[in-house]
Amino acid sequence: MDQEPESVGVQVSSPEREYRIDADYLVGADGGRSLVRKTVGIDFPGTTLDIVGRLAHVHVPDEYRRADGGLDIPGFGRLAFGHTRLDRGGLIYAEFEPGRSLFGTFEFGPPVEDKPMSVAELLASARRVLGVDVPFEEPKGPAPHALRRINGQNTRHAEHYRDGRVLLLGDAAHVHSAMGGPGLNLGLQDAMNLGWKLAAHLNGWAPDRLLDTYESERHPVGERVMMHSQAQTALMLPGPEVAALRTLLGELFTLRDVAQHMAALLAGTDVRYDVGDEHPLSGWPVPELTLADGRRVTELLHDARPVLLDFDGGAGAAASAWADRADIVTATLDGPSAAALLIRPDGYVAWAAGEFGPADEAGLHAALRRWFGPESSG
């Protein structure tokens, strides 16, 4: 990377005035059409699928509701909660608040005229997909009501997440189908990963190239989401071949190992970070552990600081020179899988030891320097 400037400047225009902000870093979290990404010239390669999605709030009369959250559609039958695939497209139904249902359709085909959408247009689309009229009405209660049409489904991934002092996260770095709902989790994990590393730089203790690990860790996770998002979209396509594939996959998902694999894939926890330590726990999210005093390990991370969990009493003293940056917690645990765990603020294990001794002390010091900077001189 070329020598980067010492700051980044942003010219802001508002209805009231124009002004400039100079900052150490600029984070582009401004959505799929990110002005930040476009301005710095980061490529956003990918594909666009010909699909038209429509979504609106509607009112569903009580006689069509089912206790399981689905619907009974006259002339069609049961419509399940969530996504439903049919030969002529698909449907989306969910009631997230009483009396205010979200109903959507998607049809595969070229874009339609870009004009304001109406509930009547949505119901006409539902008739084409279902083959019958749906008994929905205009939404009740005060506006605003969702009323949206989407022409085309983009699956795009930023070529880089960083350009000097400019970084991307969330939809500015990746866009994809909402099917399966991976976007919120993906964006939050981006923010957690980047947030503590930026804080380290701003507080003056970040090791060299710490910010580079944001892209090296998160970009592969984004690639995985692009992959399984497109796979889920493909499974909603029409045709008997797709129906057969769905049946086969349904059988595979009943197998425990397959279900566990898919759960980790959808949660975004199936990518192991390269943290420079080979312990089986290192590079993965910290396990859900409960200490002998009743505290959960995740509760120790609420202060957004590194945590060294010392289970045998030796690691804490060895890390005392980093006590200004890391919380050292001596604890007991029934049947611990490690003698000590060094946990980053984003919940990932940076280092672990099965038994603590001189070699492990050297490894702990290397991990502390790698992620949290040199020893404190005080």
Q: Pairing mode, if any, of strands 71-73 and 327-330? A: unpaired
What is the reported pLDDT for 228? Answer: 95
Q: pTM for this structure?
A: 0.89
If DSSP codes are grouped into helix, strand and coil, which group holds residue 374?
A: coil
Task: Grade residue 84 by pLDDT with cuts at 50, 70 and 90.
Answer: very high
The stretch 281-286 carries a mean pLDDT of 95
Q: Pairing mode, if any, of strands 327-330 and 307-310? A: parallel
Percent of the chain's residues with pLDDT above 90 = 73
The angle subtended at Cα 61 by Cα 55 and Cα 67, nearest 5°, is 90
Q: Which position has the higher pLDDT, 3 or 224?
A: 224
Nearest to 191 by CA among 166, 215, 170: 170
Kind plus residue range of the DSSP H or E element containing 340: strand 340-343
CA distance 169 to 188: 9
Task: Grade residue 142 by pLDDT with cuts at 50, 70 and 90.
Answer: confident
Q: Diameter of the chain by CA atoms? A: 77
On the question of pLDDT at 167 being above 70, the answer is: yes
Task: Grade residue 3 by pLDDT with cuts at 50, 70 and 90.
Answer: low
Give, in order, the Cα–Cα distances in Å from 209 to each of 68, 133, 218: 52, 59, 15
List, in sequence order, the alpha helices (H) in 203-329.
212-234, 240-252, 256-267, 315-318
pLDDT tens for residues 213-261? Answer: 999 999 999 999 999 999 999 999 999 999 999 999 999 999 999 999 9
The stretch 82-86 carries a mean pLDDT of 91
Least confident of 15-19, 44-48, 365-369: 15-19
Q: Pairing mode, if any, of strands 89-97 and 100-108? A: antiparallel
Give, in order, the Cα–Cα distances in Å from 8 to each of 25, 57, 202, 208, 324: 6, 43, 14, 19, 29
What is the reported pLDDT for 40? Answer: 94
Q: What is the DSSP string of 58-103?
A: EB--GGGB-TTS-EEETTTEEE-SEEEEETTEEEEEEEEETTEEEE
What is the reported pLDDT for 1? Answer: 44
The stretch 289-309 carries a mean pLDDT of 92
Q: Are 134 and 12 in contact (CB under 8 A)?
A: no
On the question of pLDDT at 336 being above 60, the answer is: no
What is the reported pLDDT for 337? Answer: 67
What is the reported pLDDT for 6? Answer: 80
> Position of tokens 């010909």?
50
CA distance 328 to 316: 6
The residues, any chain, with a CB within 8 Å of residue 132's CB and separated by 6 or more, are 73, 74, 75, 76
Task: Grade residue 67 by pLDDT with cuts at 50, 70 and 90.
Answer: confident
Q: What is the mean pLDDT of the chain?
A: 92
Least confident of 163-177, 248-262, 332-346: 332-346
The residues, any chain, with a CB within 8 Å of residue 17's CB and separated by 6 or more, are none
pLDDT tens for residues 345-375? Answer: 999 999 999 888 787 899 999 999 999 999 9
Give, in order, the Cα–Cα distances in Å from 360 to each of 35, 199, 352, 355, 357: 47, 28, 9, 8, 5
Q: Are 52 and 151 in contact (CB under 8 A)?
A: yes
Kind plus residue range of the DSSP H or E element containing 119: helix 119-130
Main-chain phi, psi angles of 352, to 5 degrees: -150, 155
The stretch 195-224 carries a mean pLDDT of 95
